[in-house]
Amino acid sequence: MTPDPNPLLADAGPIPFDRIRAEHVEPGIRQALAEARAVVDAIAAGDASPRWETTLGPLDEAAERLARRIAPASHLVAVAQTPELREAYNAVLPDISAFWSGLHLDERLWSRIEAYSTTEEAQSLTGIRRRHLDKTLREFRRAGADLPEAQKERLRALHVEMASLEQKFSENVLDATAAYELLVTDEDRLKGVPEPAKKRAAAKAREAGKEGWLLTLDYPSVEPILKHCEDRALRREIHAAYCLRCRDGEWDNRPLIARLLRLRDELATLLGYATFADYQLEDRMARDGTRARAFEADLVARTRPYWARDTRALEAHAATLGLDALQPWDVAFVAEKLRKAHFDLDDELLRPWFALDRVERGLFDIVERVFGFRVVEIDDDPVWHPDVRTFALYEGETRLGVFYTDWFPRKEKRPGAWMDAFATGGPDGDGFTPHVGAICGNFTPPQDGTPALLTHDEVQTLFHEFGHLLHHCTSRVAVPARAGIHVAWDFVELPSQIMENWTWERDALDLFARHHETGEPLPEDIFQRMLDARRFLGGWYQMRQLSFGTLDLLLHADVAPRLRREAATDGDDLDLRQGQEVVDLVREVLVEFSPTAAFADLHVLTSFSHLFAGGYAAGYYSYLWSEVLDADAFTRFRDAGVLDGETGRAYVRAILSQGDSEDPEVLFRAFMGRDPDAGALLERNLGSLEADAA
């Protein structure tokens, strides 16, 4: 009997998530890699007259096909991980990394592409093909294509080891998060915690065969404790457990941090860059580490007075609550009490107006009115969990994309919220190949017949991730490598962050902010209190973001080179000792961003997946960089009307559909008619000290 085909190798139809098992991962990905290598070999052995159709064309097709076959397995490791799936994926991960890093180090392939670049055909290229050729040449050089073979071999080894370390870092965070449980048996300890959160904790306890309330470290469990629990000792215990994940024990990430920093610095040095930050940022809007650090320093200086104002307000309100001194585990609690006192507003007051299904429908309505895209649910595509839903995105009769939503936490699912790209489509002859992606989160789930009710922060997160998805699924760039989200890292957050603005606009909120029981719209007085509270503690929260960005650049521009210099003379416990040194150094740096040293002690470096497993190394500054862009760009929507279709379609034409077809600065100017202005961000987030004083 013929065995069933490997579902990872299914190139037609919907992705068969329901049939992918751990045993498919190694053979499927190894076959996909072998087929991609065969294409590379054929290109490298091509005739003496290279053309687009014999070089870049088939190379792009092979790279996209390989990425499309690997993506489902990588995604399942993030959302439905089992020990068997993890083991299978880790077994083949070095081969995946070796292929991608080795692609740019293949001397035969590089020779063919260089040879093509000098042909008459290549010289006459225009538009996206010209840009793709130019950027491909630069990518090969940035990857070390011109280096001697011994250095190329070292680069290959670096990429493989870094990929394995980053995967291990992520697994440690997942395991440490999943392993923690705290059973509360005295309900008085949960005084102040909203009833829905208590019900979820009780349900978790019952599922575990225990009596009481089971607290875990997934964020829907952590947040209500830190924000609402009056038991200060319990807040402290949960806060410390969350912040100190992976700082010692079985899932200790300190050695991984030290080694990753050294390896990244070695890679940058091999490629001729002063620091890893300079290497990472060369092809981004910031261009180099110096400019990114100047951006951070300028915003730190401009934010500090507002941060000082907010710190004084928190400390003063903590005193009125009988707290002897503001501690890290008090901030969310005090902030909620202060917001309630100032604006008579808290998350639980708003939740009833943000039922997940209605929020999604409202978002889709906004997308249709503003951008001209229609969303239709699909009922029969296979999924990886019953919570997952599938949709198609249309422009007219053209199906631009298919996407999945997966919003609730599970033990086998990593924390946070993100978008995954499974396939990059685009114009295809006279037709259009749909893009495929997913958006995932860890929102408050439904409970006891009550629908999933979101906080306003969760609503913003949903809109944010959908912005990434739109960027991916609406791309009309014919070259996949230059399509969708394949843009400069400090530009990629613009399409996501701009979407959050609609969650603050009355005309948009009226489409989805309705009470889940009565259907009444969000009352005007509550809406006005939301607006009044929008800048609440804006200086505090913006300084927190700046602390992460500053720290990230310091680690990759200053600390990593020092660790590598010192490594030559150190012994066997080098990684652990240097990892602890980094943890201690981070504390020293964060003191400048903290009211007291206690805040700097409880930092999250050892679980900071953005920097050590999520692609944001030397790039965390880009969140605020992109915020400058999104706040400024949204002023055009606000001036025209936030549901204005003409403005929305202009944005689609200028930015959303353009991928990396032009430099980001050019795309921004095409929409705004000028360069970005940081004033809109500062006004939106911080307001005026003079107005506050008045």
Mean pLDDT of 102-106: 95
pLDDT at position 661 = 98
Judged by DSSP in three states, 354 sits in coil
pLDDT in tens, 392-450: 999 999 999 999 999 999 989 998 899 999 999 999 988 999 999 999 999 989 988 89
Mean pLDDT of 19-42: 98
Mean pLDDT of 378-382: 93
pLDDT at position 22 = 97
Contacts of residues 182-188 at CB distance under 8 Å and 24 or more positions apart, as own/partner, are 182/214, 182/215, 182/216, 182/237, 182/238, 182/241, 183/210, 183/212, 183/213, 183/214, 183/215, 184/212, 184/213, 184/214, 184/215, 184/234, 185/211, 185/212, 185/213, 187/213, 188/231
What is the maximum span of the chain, computed from C-alpha positions, in angstroms? Answer: 82
DSSP 499-559: HHGGGG-HHHHTTT-B-TTT-PBPPHHHHHHHHHHTTTTHHHHHHHHHHHHHHHHHIIIII
Judged by DSSP in three states, 428 sits in strand
Across all residues in the chain, what is the average pLDDT? 95
pLDDT at position 2 = 54
Judged by DSSP in three states, 222 sits in helix
Q: Residue ranges of the alpha helices (H) in 535-688?
A: 538-554, 560-567, 574-590, 597-601, 609-612, 622-640, 645-651, 664-672, 679-685
Query: Residue 570 above 70 pLDDT?
Result: no
Query: Residue 598 above 60 pLDDT?
Result: yes
Nearest alpha-carbon partner for 535 in 297, 339, 353, 351: 339
Mean pLDDT of 339-365: 94
pLDDT at position 304 = 97
Query: Residue 132 above 90 pLDDT?
Result: yes
pLDDT at position 430 = 83
pLDDT in tens, 221-277: 999 999 999 999 999 999 999 999 999 999 999 999 999 999 999 999 999 999 999
In the numeric block, which tokens belong to residue 469?
Answer: 């998805």
Query: Residue 357 above 80 pLDDT?
Result: yes
Mean pLDDT of 204-233: 96
pLDDT in tens, 453-505: 999 999 999 999 999 999 999 999 999 999 999 999 999 999 999 999 999 99
Name every residue whose Cβ is closer than 8 Å to that of residue 24 and which is 6 or more positions away in sequence.
6, 7, 8, 73
pLDDT at position 448 = 85
Active-site residue 139, yes or no? no
Count other C-beta atoms under 10 Å from residue 316's C-beta: 12
Confidence of residue 694 (pLDDT cuts 50, 70, 90): very low
pLDDT at position 525 = 95
Q: CA-CA distance, 110 to 56, in Å (whole number)?
A: 11
95 burial level (CB within 10 Å; 0-12, 13-18, 19+): middle
Judged by DSSP in three states, 438 sits in strand
Q: CA-CA distance, 156 to 622, in Å (whole number)?
A: 28
pTM: 0.91
Confidence of residue 30 (pLDDT cuts 50, 70, 90): very high
Catalytic residue among 458, 465, 493, 505: 465
Q: Specify the length of the chain in residues.
A: 694
Residues 50 and 119 sit within 8 Å (Cβ to Cβ): yes
pLDDT at position 614 = 86
Confidence of residue 585 (pLDDT cuts 50, 70, 90): very high
pLDDT in tens, 616-633: 999 999 999 999 999 999
Given the structure tokens 């991980």, which residue do they identify?
Answer: 81
